[in-house]
Amino acid sequence: MSETLLTSSSPSDRQRSRGRLIVVTGPSGVGKGTLLAAIRRRHPELQMSISATTRSPRPGEIDGVHYFFYTREQFESLRDRGQFLEWAEFAGNLYGTPLAPVKQRLQAGEDVILEIELQGARQVARTWPEAFKLFIRPPSLAELERRLRERGQDTEESIQKRLATAELELKAESEFDLAIVNDRIDRAVQELETAILDATVAQH
């Protein structure tokens, strides 16, 4: 789970009956956040909301800015009260998307883009079957391993767990409306941008 991107809208857009939910997922380390950040630079009207996680902050991450960092007990309490659109456990940590702001924006006719892990994407697909689902995949597992090692944020044990999980996640590609291979970032950004913009236009 990483950031959730929420599109802003003009007054006329707010008259839409309902916004479009767009789900972006793929293995850890595949570059989902990098691609969406590049799209946001092209489209500064896209605003970022904050997701929740029980993992420890990475260097430079600030509570309430990059994530809400909860204890496991805090997260489970919110989850049990139905306060998440989706939640998932990944690499020993819990991740979730706060429900209220997403529902509010969808009902106001705004489009919501979720960057989430596979477990959460499957939950959203059941809750919102009309959601447009995008899968980001690496060109190979070997390349994914190289990227995980290059970013220097994981222990060897964590890298091996992420790779094993990724191998299983890649088999879920057929569950999605579109798969994009992140082999060259400029091309992947263009494909993802086109898919997102086309999806929002098709909805409205």
pLDDT at 176: 97
Rounded to the nearest angstrom, the gap between the alpha carbon of residue 180 and the centroid of all alpha carbons in its chain is 14
Domain count, the chain: 1
Global pTM reads: 0.80
pLDDT at 27: 93
pLDDT at 166: 94
Below-50 pLDDT ranges, the chain: 6-16
- Give the domain range for residue 12: 4-203
Alpha-carbon dihedral angle through residues 71, 98, 171, 20, given to the nearest 10 degrees: -170
pLDDT at 179: 97
CATH number of the CATH domain containing 176 = 3.40.50.300
| Residues 6+ positions from 35 with CB-CB distance below 8 Å | 136, 182, 185, 188, 189, 192
| Residues 6+ positions from 145 with CB-CB distance below 8 Å | 159, 163
Instruction: List alpha helices for the chain, DSSP H.
Output: 32-42, 72-80, 99-107, 118-127, 141-151, 156-169, 185-203
pLDDT at 62: 93
pLDDT at 138: 95
Among all chains, which residue has been given the structure tokens 């489209």? 43
pLDDT at 185: 92
